[in-house]
Chains A and B, each alone.
Chain A
Amino acid sequence: MDVPNAGTRGPAPANPGVIAAGLDPANPLRDPRDRRIPRVAGPCVMVMFGVTGDLARKKLMPALYDLANRGLLPPGFSLVGFARRDWEHEDFAQVTYEAVKEHARTPFRETVWQQLSEGVRFVPGEFTDDEAFDQLAETVRQLDHERGTGGNYAFYLSIPPKFFSTVVQQLKRSGLSDPGPAGPDGRTPWRRVVIEKPFGRDLATAKELNDVVDAVFPAHSVFRIDHYLGKETVQNILALRFANTLYEPIWNRSYVDHVQITMSEDIGIGGRAGYYDGIGAARDVIQNHLLQLLALTAMEEPVSFDADSLRQEKEKVLSAVRLPADLALGTARGQYAAGWQGGRQVTGFLEEDGIPADSRTETYAAIKLSVDTRRWAGVPFYVRTGKRLTRRMTEIALIFQAAPHLPFAATDTKELGKNALVIRVQPDEGVTLRFGSKVPGSAMEVRDVNMDFAYGESFTEASPEAYERLILDVLIGDPPLFPRQEEVELSWRILDPVEQFWAENTKPEQYASGGAGPASADALMGRDGRAWRRL
């Protein structure tokens, strides 16, 4: 290699995150061909708000430990917690320890924990407390000095969105949001902010929320988490579609009859009544997860897999999504009624704690969408999601047209359905192909069979949790898996008219717990001469 190993180098790269991704002229030890050396985050501090919350304890802190355990966090990585608790650093370390022990995916190793805990700090305070934020600023500066974190900070806002404004303004006031000038080595430190759904409850509030964050952080430094995009199988959609010759020729209206995208849960709303009431299934799941899955399924091939190209294609296809002309016929929604699910007696949605008896919030939603492009003209995309259904599963199913001519006697193919390609997102990640096959015997009889691929990875260290992947991408500064504000707004544009129609015209229909959803959803499919796939 003819780049001399020099300690100082040219201008800071436009995207500082690329450094750790292996293209850094300053680090001769990195070579894109060297695929054994994993992408490791660069030196940095993660500042976490809402550390006492559910998400932080069950997902974020365990994911940080798992990353450390896999050697993907840099030496000196530090975690600063902020919360309204009268805690010392050690108390927070203890909280983190317990969260990690209980929820981490990889085996617990004392040495890894020691490495992580050396960099754990805590700052007590209210969001409105200027002094606390000054203290926070002091703490991270000290970490830069002591642990070589290089002035790079990621702020994780694991708090209710109504506090974003206060926190973001505090970060600005205390100077924390300002990366400052480039250091003596020519590198500009980075600032990144991570936010969680919900990204608003409609287009207007999504814009307001964005304005709040946008006022302080430039668009490229805002990372919106949609944890579905961190899942292996979802990323595999891109590999399946664009690394093979087999699928792309039939991935269009000439062969596909329709597409079904499903996310069903077997549980109810649990303790989340406060959040859920007034939001409902469509806002909670369709606006983000299902429309993202739709975008990845329906989009054209991006010119490359960098963030801009990928997001461009997703935005193009989202902007081509159309609602049915008659929303009464093209949508369905419901609320789970009391009944039996998975062998247990369960209460109905309206009897849940914290839900008003006259709530009109839906726990099941189905919408028929179309995609107005040459590729998809006339192919309906049916999306549905619901709680307390038969079982927990998420899948994308492409149902193909029937063969144009069957040279068999009609009775021979009575049991033959349509070919299907199913991408199983969870829980049993993989791909299924359904096609007709001859039943062994002397008669010609054709029946549906499945061909299955399940990659074994799901039960080993090598297959990361979605949050591990996403947090690592934030720390590396790799944005393809994070939806941009434009995508969020496009999704709300799709959903807003539906929500408005529902609010003005319908009341959710009750459906049996443990079943497949309301009768109106079946009728929606029935009118088109189709049926939902069995849950």
Chain B
Amino acid sequence: MTIDLTDTTTGAIDHALNEARRRLGGMTLGMVLTLIVVTDEAAQYDAIRAANQAAREHPCRILAVIARKPKADSRLDAEIRVGESSPGETIVLRMYGPLGQHADSVVAPLLVPDVPVVTWWPDEAPEIPARHPLGALAQRRVTDTAAAESPRAMLANLAAGYRPGDTDFGWTRATPWRSLLAATLDQPHPPVTAGEIAAEEGNPAADLIAAWLSLRLSAPVSRTVSAGPGITAAVFTTPEGDIKITRADGRTATLAWPGRTDRMVALHRRDTAELLAEELRRLDPDEVYAETLEHADLSAPAELPRRTNAPA
């Protein structure tokens, strides 16, 4: 059911929610968190859809915050959706005029009591997410550097402004690669003396994986540029030759190990809903991300060693 409220207040929204719940028969039970989505009119459809999908795994109240017409008079419009595609509730909050600067005053009364709060910026994110009024309400703040104009610059910002509880989709996208790399080194292997990560330019996941590897392996790991899509290769240099994982098509990787037949590994790129669901799985500070972010070399941006052809 969808309820539209124009020029409304949080009190009226709360009332309408209760009413809707009563009519549908006690729907709020079992909500495990509040997810604040900070978005705009153009991007809200995709963001809310992804949030709804993630809510199947983590039943939650979704509060989509959309700032509109900063010059207009202050006004709050709300669209409440309950009992639709996901087990929780979605409230789209459109804030006009100066109210847009005080979104937290609208959001705070609508948080589900007692359960954690997560704030997600699917697109542009503030420099210091924890300082943003909507970030301050949350114990987990999710950004996406890949959506930024200059991902590296934004990653550098995030590193400077890091607070425990911050996390970024660049890091989330790195998970399948990182687990494959870890699984690769579960096998008895010669010592790794150096590494390389090749990816298209502006790929924060690749920057973070390179930083993570060099930190964990205490070895130099270079970040090279390829044509993509996404990350195309990871190489461990060893005295017995290179252990190489290459992925040319964004879906299937090949693991080449000196002296063995090549092996294929499915390594598909995940959609936003899957990334978000991973983020919602654990809400405590991600220490490994913090260390990696701190270690990442984000100072030297443009002049990366360039590869002429796609990595072998």
Contacts and interface: CB of A to CB of B under 8 A. Distances in A.
B30 A455 contact: yes
Given A37-B179, A74-B186, A452-B29, A7 B191 contact: yes
A187 B188 contact: yes
A104 B120 CA distance: 32
B265 interface: yes
A148 B258 CA distance: 11
A314 B126 CA distance: 52
Contacts of A457: 57
B191 A111 contact: no
Nearest to A118: B264
B176 A71 contact: yes
A40 B179 contact: yes
A146 B260 contact: yes
Interface stretch (A26-34, A224-232, A305-313): A26-34
Given A147-B261, A462-B277, A454 B30 contact: yes
B30 A29 contact: no
B246 to A, nearest CB: 13
A1 to B, nearest CB: 6
A524 interface: no
B308 interface: no
Given A1-B216, A43-B187, A456-B55, A114 B175 contact: no
Interface string B210-246: 0001011111000000000000000000100000000
Contacts of A76: 255, 263
Interface residues of B, number: 53
A35 B29 contact: no
Given A27-B185, A453-B30, A459-B56, A7 B190 contact: yes
Interface in A49-98: 68-69, 71, 74-76
B55 A40 contact: no
Given A27-B182, A71-B179, A109-B268, A148 B257 contact: yes
Interface in A449-467: 451-457, 459-463
B153 interface: no
A464 to B, nearest CB: 12
B191 to A, nearest CB: 4
Interface string B182-197: 1111111111100000
A435 B193 CA distance: 63
Nearest to A69: B266
A4 interface: yes
A274 interface: no
Nearest to B57: A460
Interface residues of A, number: 57
Given A7-B191, A456-B59, A111 B261 contact: no
Given A148-B187, A183-B188, A453-B29, A29 B182 contact: yes
Given A5-B217, A71-B180, A20 B252 contact: no
B68 interface: no
A7 B266 contact: no
Nearest to B279: A36
B223 to A, nearest CB: 17
Contact of A40 (B183, B188, B192, B282): B183
Contacts of B49: none
Nearest to A112: B266
Nearest to A454: B30
A24 interface: yes
Contacts of B58: 456
A459 B55 CA distance: 11
B135 interface: no
Contacts of A456: 30, 32, 55-59, 87
Contacts of B59: 455-456
Given A33-B288, A146-B261, A111 B252 contact: yes
SS of B interface (majority): mixed
Given A1-B218, A28-B217, A37-B178, A115 B264 contact: yes
A286 B178 CA distance: 43
Nearest to B58: A456
B288 A34 contact: yes
A12 to B, nearest CB: 11
Given A36-B175, A112-B266, A29 B260 contact: no
Nearest to A27: B185
B178 A29 contact: yes
A54 B59 CA distance: 35
B265 A115 contact: yes
A225 B87 CA distance: 33
B284 to A, nearest CB: 9
Contacts of A114: 252, 264, 266
B59 to A, nearest CB: 4
A494 B250 CA distance: 56
Contacts of A463: 57
Contacts of B181: 29
A30 B183 CA distance: 9
A132 B263 CA distance: 27
Contacts of A115: 252, 263-266
Nearest to A146: B261
Interface string A106-126: 000101101100100000000
Nearest to B179: A37
B210 to A, nearest CB: 13
Given A31-B288, A456-B56, A456-B59, A5 B261 contact: no
Given A115-B265, A456-B56, A42 B186 contact: yes
B186 A43 contact: yes
A462 B264 contact: no
Contacts of A118: 263-264
14 contacts: A26-B188, A27-B182, A29-B181, A36-B286, A37-B182, A71-B180, A118-B264, A147-B260, A148-B257, A148-B263, A187-B188, A456-B32, A459-B56, A461-B57
Interface of A: 1, 4-7, 19-20, 24, 26-31, 33-38, 40, 42-43, 68-69, 71, 74-76, 109, 111-112, 114-115, 118, 145-148, 150, 183-185, 187, 430, 451-457, 459-463
